[in-house]
Structure 1
Amino acid sequence: MSNPKEIKRRILSIESVIKTTEAMKMISIVKLRKHKGLLKSAKTYYDHIELLLSDFFLTEKKENFEIKKYFLEEGQNSILIIFTSNRGLCGSFNSSIFEKINFFFQKNISLHHNECMFFSVGKKGFDFLSKKYGIHEKNNNWIDWENNFSKVCENTRFLTKKLIFNFIKRNFSSIYLIYNNLKNSLFQETIIEKLLPINVGNFKEKRKRIDYIIEPSKKEVFHYLIPKFISSKLLKIFLESSVTEHTLRMISMHKATENAHDIKNNLVLNYNKERQTSITKEILEIISGLESLKK
C-alpha cells in the first residue's frame, strides 16, 4: 500500500473498531459480574433443594408409584434443551454446542432427530436447528432471556410445568440438557446431562439416614420438591451458560482489541514511512530544480 491517504483512512477505521471492541468488552465485564452474583445465589438454593430431595429418596422406597414414574424411561421420543446465546462474537461458545448435538446423535444411533423435540434457549441455537434439522417456530420456540431476571425465573417455572406435564403423560421418554460450563477462564466444557428420568445415582448420601416426620404427606412434599428441583436446576444451568458466554465474549473482545492495536501500529509505521518517502522525494525534486536553474 503506497497511498498515505488510504493508510490514514484505514487507521481511522481501526480506531473505530478498537472503540467498539473495548465497549463490548466492558459491557461483558459488567454482565459477567452481575451473573456471577446471581449464579452464586442460585447454586446455594439448588444445593439445598438437592439435599432435601436426596433425604427424601433415602426415607422413601422407590417402589412407590408417585416416585417410580419419575425414574422410568418409556418410549423413544426425547426432548433436547440447548442453551446458546442471542448474539455472536463469543468465541467457540455456540459452535461447541452444535458439535455436541451432532455427537449426541452419532453416539445414540438408535435415536433419530425426527424422534426428538428441540427447545433452544437463545436465537443462535434456534437458527442452527432451523437450518440443520428443519425445525420451525411452530414446534420450537426460543426464549429471549436477557437482562430481566424476574422474566428468567418466570419462564423457568413455566418451562418446568410443561416438561413435568409432558413427561408424566409420556409424550416423551427423556429430557436432555446441552450447555456450556466454565471450568476456568481458559477452559469451557460442553455438557450433555439427562434431566428426566431422574438418576438416583446423582444424589450422594450426604447425611446418615434419618426417619423424618413429613407433613402434610409424603406425596404432597414430593410433588412440591420435584418442580422446585427442576426449575432451580434449569435456572442454575442458564446462569452457568450465561457466565460462560460473557467470559468468552470478554476474552474474545480483549484479543480483538489487542489485534486491532497491532494492526493500527503497523499502519502508523507504514504511514510514517510513506510520508517520509514523499517528503524525501519532494526535497530531491526541489534540489534538482535548483541545480537546473544554476546551470
Structure 2
Amino acid sequence: MANLKEIRNRITSIGSTMQITSAMKMVSAAKLKKAQDAITAMRPYSSKLTELLQNLSATLDSDAGGAYSIQRPIHKVLLVTITSNRGLCGGFNSSITKEVIKTVNEKYADKTVDIFAIGKKGGAILSKLYNLVDSRNDIYDDLTFDNVALIAEELMSFYAEGKYDRIEIVYNQFKNAATQLPQVEQFLPIKPIEGGDAAAVNSDYIFEPSKEEIVLALIPKSLKTQLYKSIRDSFASEHGARMTAMHKATDNAKDLRDDLLLTYNKARQAAITNEILEIVGGAEALNN
C-alpha cells in the first residue's frame, strides 16, 4: 500500500502542475492578443518610414545623413540583445543566445564585441561569455515608445561618439504563436538602400524644407521606431512562445497523469486480488 500512496501523491502533484501550466497558458494567450495587435499595427508604419529614409538618403551625398550614416572600419561591435525577464517560454531566450554566438563567430570573430542586454535572461547568460556594458530589464514594466526612445538615444550617442563602429539588434521576430524567427538587424550605421540610386525617389516630389533637413529629422525618429518595433516583436514572440510551451507542458502532464492512473489502477487491482487470494487460501486451510 505504500507504493499506492506514493503513486497517489504523484498524481495529485501532477494535477496541481497541470492547473498552473493551464492558467499560465490562458494568461499568455490573453497577453499575446494585445501584443500581436500592437506589432501588426506598427509594422507598416515602421517599414514605410525606413523605406522613405533609405530612398531619401540614396539621393544625397554619403555624409549628408550626419553622424549616423558614416561608415567606419569595424573594430568594436555592440550587439543589442532582446530577451525576456522571465522563463518558462521554451527556447525563446536560448535561440537569441545561440544567434549571438553564431553572429560573433561568423561575422566578428576578430573584433571586439560587447553586449547591451534588454531582458534579464539574455543578460545573465551572455554576461558570462562577453562584456556586458549595460542591462535594461525594467523596460517591460512600462513598454512605451518614449521609454524605448531613451535607450535608442543612448545607442545613437555610442555610435556618434565613436565608441562602436557597428551596432546590431538581435531579437525574435513574431510570426505566429508557434513560430518565432531570430533576427539580426543593423541599427547603426544606417544601412543604405540595396541597389538604390537617385532614381529611387520620385522626381515630382517637392521637398519643404530641403531633403537634407528632412533626412536629418527622420533619422532619429526612424532609429527609435526600429528599436521599438524590435522590442514589440520580441514581446509578442515571448507570449507566443510561453503559450505554446505551457500548452505542451499541460498536454505532457495529462499524458503522465493518465499513465500513472493506469499504473495505480493496475497496482490497486493486484493488491485487491492478492487480498482475495489470501482470504480464500485461509478459508481453505480452515476447512482442511
Deviation at 1:274, TM superposition (A): 1.2
Match of 1:125 among 122, 126, 129: 122
The verdict on how the C-alpha distance between 1:64 and 1:194 changes in structure 2, with shifts beyond 3 A counting, is closer
Q: Residue 6 of structure 1 aligns with which residue? A: 6
In 1, the alpha carbon distance for the partners of 2:141 and 2:195 equals 32
Which stretch of the first structure deviates more once superposed, 35-44 or 140-149?
140-149
Q: Residue 210 of structure 1 aligns with which residue? A: 203
Gaps of 5+ in 2: none
Q: Residue 180 of structure 2 aligns with which residue? A: 188
Q: Residue 70 of structure 1 aligns with which residue? A: 69
Q: Residue type of the partner of 1:215? A: E
Q: Residue 245 of structure 2 aligns with which residue? A: 252
Deviation at 1:204, TM superposition (A): 6.9
SS at the partner of 1:131? coil
Q: Residue 214 of structure 2 aligns with which residue? A: 221
Is 1:26 the equivalent of 2:26? Answer: yes
Q: Residue 257 of structure 2 aligns with which residue? A: 264
SS at the partner of 1:61? coil
Aligned residues: 287
Deviation at 1:228, TM superposition (A): 1.0
SS at the partner of 2:110? coil
Scaled by the length of structure 2, the TM-score of the pair is: 0.89
Q: Residue 289 of structure 1 aligns with which residue? A: 282
CA contact (8 A) 2:62 2:69 kept: no
Deviation at 1:109, TM superposition (A): 4.9
The verdict on how the C-alpha distance between 1:109 and 1:161 changes in structure 2, with shifts beyond 3 A counting, is closer
Which stretch of the first structure deviates more once superposed, 141-150 or 220-229?
141-150
Q: Residue 137 of structure 2 aligns with which residue? A: 143
CA contact (8 A) 1:80 1:178 kept: yes
Please give the residue correspondences for 1:50-69 in structure 2 after superposition, counting only pairs within 5 Å. Answer: 50-58=50-58, 60-67=59-66
Q: Residue type of the partner of 2:161? A: K
CA contact (8 A) 2:62 2:70 kept: no
Q: Residue type of the partner of 1:105? A: V
Q: Residue 105 of structure 1 aligns with which residue? A: 104
In 2, the alpha carbon distance for the partners of 1:290 and 1:215 equals 108
Is 1:80 the equivalent of 2:72? Answer: no
CA contact (8 A) 1:71 1:196 kept: no
Which stretch of the first structure deviates more once superposed, 94-103 or 284-293?
284-293
Which stretch of the first structure deviates more once superposed, 219-228 or 19-28?
219-228
Scaled by the length of structure 1, the TM-score of the pair is: 0.87
Is 1:160 the equivalent of 2:147? Answer: no
In 2, the alpha carbon distance for the partners of 1:243 and 1:69 equals 29
- Give % identity: 36
In 2, the alpha carbon distance for the partners of 1:23 and 1:269 equals 26
Q: Residue type of the partner of 2:136? A: W
SS at the partner of 2:193? helix
Which stretch of the first structure deviates more once superposed, 283-292 or 14-23?
283-292
Which stretch of the first structure deviates more once superposed, 226-235 or 42-51?
42-51
CA contact (8 A) 1:42 1:235 kept: no
Deviation at 1:79, TM superposition (A): 1.0
Deviation at 1:128, TM superposition (A): 0.9
In 1, the alpha carbon distance for the partners of 2:200 and 2:146 equals 33
Q: Residue type of the partner of 1:279? A: I
Offset from partner CA, 1:193-235 (integer Å, 9 cap, x none): 2111112225979975235443344444323211110111111
In 2, the alpha carbon distance for the partners of 1:166 and 1:6 equals 60
In 2, the alpha carbon distance for the partners of 1:75 and 1:156 equals 26
CA contact (8 A) 1:79 1:172 kept: yes
SS at the partner of 1:98? helix
Gaps of 5+ in 1: none
CA contact (8 A) 1:181 1:189 kept: yes
In 2, the alpha carbon distance for the partners of 1:20 and 1:255 equals 13
Deviation at 1:69, TM superposition (A): 5.3
Offset from partner CA, 1:69-89 (integer Å, 9 cap, x none): 514124511211011111122
Q: Residue type of the partner of 1:239? A: R
CA contact (8 A) 2:32 2:239 kept: yes
The verdict on how the C-alpha distance between 1:199 and 1:223 changes in structure 2, with shifts beyond 3 A counting, is same
In 2, the alpha carbon distance for the partners of 1:227 and 1:68 equals 11
In 1, the alpha carbon distance for the partners of 2:180 and 2:14 equals 30
Which stretch of the first structure deviates more once superposed, 179-188 or 91-100?
179-188
CA contact (8 A) 2:82 2:119 kept: yes
Deviation at 1:119, TM superposition (A): 0.6
